[in-house]
Structure 1
Amino acid sequence: MRRSAALLSLLAALALPAAVHAEDAKAPDELIEIDGKQPVAIKPDRAYLLFRTTDKWFSPVFLRIPTEAEVAAFYAAKQQAFDKALPALRKAHAAAVAKRQAAAAKGQASGDDMPGEPSLATFDYHHDAVQNLNAANLGKALVKDKEKRLMLVEAPPGNYVLYGAGNQAAMMTCLCLGTVGFEAKAGQITDLGTIPVAIAWQPSDDPVLKGETGLGASVNGHWALPAVGLVPPDSRAPVPAALAGKPVVPASFRAVGKFVAPPVFTINRLAPVAGLLAYDRGRVIDGRTGEAVPDNY
């Protein structure tokens, strides 16, 4: 498991607030990669994500939508932290007001921005009990060759969003402009199919990424922009020998609308997926119904 260095942003109805940092020590590992060196044992209380990727550098980043209990615990912890910090916050606010008033009395500007009254809504709080934004470590693959990886990842059961692309412990790109979600059930291996990745400014021979690549170097920011696609699982594809007889089920994907970007180097969208995900002048379209998917702001 590699934790993402990005803050977990609010995704309205999708991702409820459980903000975490890569340096948090209390949060347990949520993704555990299973390599081909050990037998695969399916635990009845854990979910498993199976996917293939065409790039050894950029890993998919998965967001698990927090449970109602986790959300309640977050707000309770935030309230407790705010109550503890409130005296100091009020003291700092009063000092800032006094400084502003003293400067005004002398006909001077204080030079500092005036802070607002301390409030729970604006309180900067980082939760360290839940780590639900994770990138898979592609170095620990069930099967791998020079470039491609077949990953099997143990994870908590729940609803997930294909949130972006990471490199090592950093979240490089979020798929903030449109992506997909899926449910991973306990005791099952959820097959996500193939998640191809290429560099967006360079042309790609991958038909899935053809329309998302060859865009020129101007799309790059501090880091090269990756293009990410999805090829849903094919029931005719052979099952790896290590998974023979195991409960492998194809993922049931849903289109996910736009959401607010966390602090990342670049933002992008998941490439269109026939019959599942499409776009119309920036709007995210559910490919099954043809209807626009609500944004998550």
Structure 2
Amino acid sequence: MIRHAITLACVAALGLATATGASARPIEEDEIEKGEESIKPDMGYIYLTAPNRFAGSFIRVADEEDIAKYQEARAAAFAAAVEEYEKDYARWQRRMESQTATDNPPEEPVKPTEEGFTYASIEQFFATSFGPTFVYSKDGGTYAYLEELKPGTYIWYGPVFYGVKQGYLGQCYCMGTIKFEVKPGVVTNLGNSLFAMPRWEEDRGAPVPQIKENSGLNGFVVELPQQSGELVYDMPATLASQPFVIPEFFAVGKINNFYRQMIARIAPIDGVIAYDRDQVIDLKAQSAEGE
């Protein structure tokens, strides 16, 4: 029940009610052990590890079905805004009819228009967060997370997540990041790549030493990576019999800072992403052009 309450709070904070199209569902190790959860053939899974409690957001790249769902949700939200306007306008009319010459006339409500209607961007609509709670397992000082979500291509938006008492907080990799494919029926094993793969020591920018999340009794501290390290893709015994794949990563250019957090970028990754000042260099595309 606590998990569902937090999820609903996150959705309400986005102002999307029941809308968000990429909500991930965390799975914990004891649920796998007890047979309460399993790897489903039609769902995607992201497994990742970190040296400490971690959190962040992914954005699923919208397909045709997603675009239709987004347009439907936006149309419903616009219809609700028009309905609310009509109620406000009726109240305004009644007040105008009751005004005396000495009263200040109330401001007339503005009718919403399709062009001027403000709604979440499609990227925000298909964004989903994980952590710092609902850890899959804690083993030898390593924290692991397993998230069930819709298969597709996912962009690593960065260590931005929802704090129950604070709203969204963290750091957005809006100036350069990576994406990867999540296939159905298999565990996409990121291992510790989000920490260890980028060369943080060469491109620090303005890193946040830690992010303090204040929910619960003592809250949580989310430490951000400071240097690269050895890549580890070990799978826990509870998932060892499940099919898994280590994804191929691709560069992603600048993206919208829709959570309005500190802007940063992922550090350079050999063979994937580099930078020329503030310009993202797609090393795979560059290599393909040179062949």
Using structure 2 for the length normalisation, give the TM-score. Answer: 0.67
Task: Give how far 1:231 is off.
Answer: 7.2
Aligned residues of 1:42 and 1:187 also touching (Cα < 8 A)? yes
What stretches of structure 2 of length at least 5 have no aligned partner? 93-106, 214-220
1:266 aligns with 2:266: no
2-structure distance, mates of 1:88, 1:153: 37
SS in 2 for 1:242: helix
**Structure-2 change in CA distance of 1:72 and 1:137 (3 Å):** same
Are the counterparts in 2 of residues 176 and 260 from structure 1 also a CA contact under 8 Å?
Answer: yes
Q: Note the 1:217-232 alignment, pairs <5 A.
A: 227=224
Give 1:197 shift.
5.5
Residue range with higher mean Cα deviation, 172-181 or 187-196: 187-196
Deviation, structure 1 residue 281: 1.2
**Deviations for 1:163-207, whole angstroms, at most 9, x for unmatched residues?**
121355324221100001111011011111315559xxxxxxx98
SS at match of 1:71: helix
- 1:32 corresponds to which of 13, 25, 39: 25
Structure 1 residue 237: Cα displacement: 4.6
2:65 is aligned, of 59, 66, 69, to: 69
Counterpart residue identity of residue 280, structure 1: D
Partner amino acid for 1:55?
A: N
Higher helix share: 2
SS of equivalent residue, structure 2 residue 66: helix
Offset at 1:134?
1.9
Distance 1:230 1:247 in 2: 30
Matched-pair contact (CA < 8 Å) for 1:233–1:250: no
Indicate if the aligned counterparts of 2:22 and 2:60 stay in contact, CA closer than 8 A: no
Give, in whole Å, the separation in 1 of the partners of 2:140 and 2:77: 48
Indicate conservation of the 8 Å contact 1:195/1:229, yes or no. no
Q: Which residue of 2 aligns with 1:124?
A: 118
Moved more, 246-255 or 147-156: 147-156
Amino acid at match of 2:17: D
Q: Are 1:82 and 2:75 counterparts?
A: no
Task: Assess if the C-alpha contact under 8 Å between 1:79 and 1:120 holds in 2.
Answer: no
The one-letter code of the counterpart of 1:259 is I
Aligned to 2:130: 136
Which amino acid in the other structure matches residue 34 of structure 1? I
- Which stretch shows the higher mean deviation, 74-83 or 42-51? 74-83
Q: How far is the alpha carbon of 1:117 from its aligned partner?
A: 8.0
2:170 to 169, 172, 186: 172
149, 152, 164: which one pairs with 1:158? 152
The CA deviation at 1:273 is 0.8
Identity of aligned residues (%): 27
Decide whether aligned partners of structure 1 residues 260 and 245 sit closer, same or farther in structure 2, where only a CA change above 3 A counts: same
One-letter amino acid matched to 1:152: L
Q: Of the candidates 203, 207, 210, which is equivalent to residue 201 of structure 2?
A: 210
Alignment check: 8 A CA contact 1:6 1:264 kept: no
8 Å Cα contact 1:173-1:267 kept in structure 2: yes
How many pairs were matched up? 251
Q: Tell me what 1:41 maps to.
A: 38
Q: What is the SS of the residue equivalent to 2:284?
A: coil
In the alignment, the residues of structure 1 paired with residue 173 and residue 119 of structure 2 have an alpha-carbon distance, to the nearest angstrom, of 25
Give the Cα–Cα distance (whole angstroms) in 1 for the partners of residues 207 and 172 of structure 2. Answer: 19
Contact 1:34–1:140 (CA<8 Å) still a contact in 2?
A: yes
Change (3 A) 1:275 1:4: farther
Distance 1:44 1:233, change over 3 A: farther
Provide structure 1 residue ranges, at least 5 long, that are not aligned to the other structure: 8-18, 96-111, 199-205, 292-297
Question: Counterpart of 2:189?
Answer: 191
Structure 1 residue 208, shift from structure 2 partner = 3.3
Change (3 A) 1:28 1:76: closer
Moved more, 131-140 or 154-163: 131-140
User: 1:244-255 maps to which residues of 2 (within 5 A)?
Assistant: 244-255=240-251
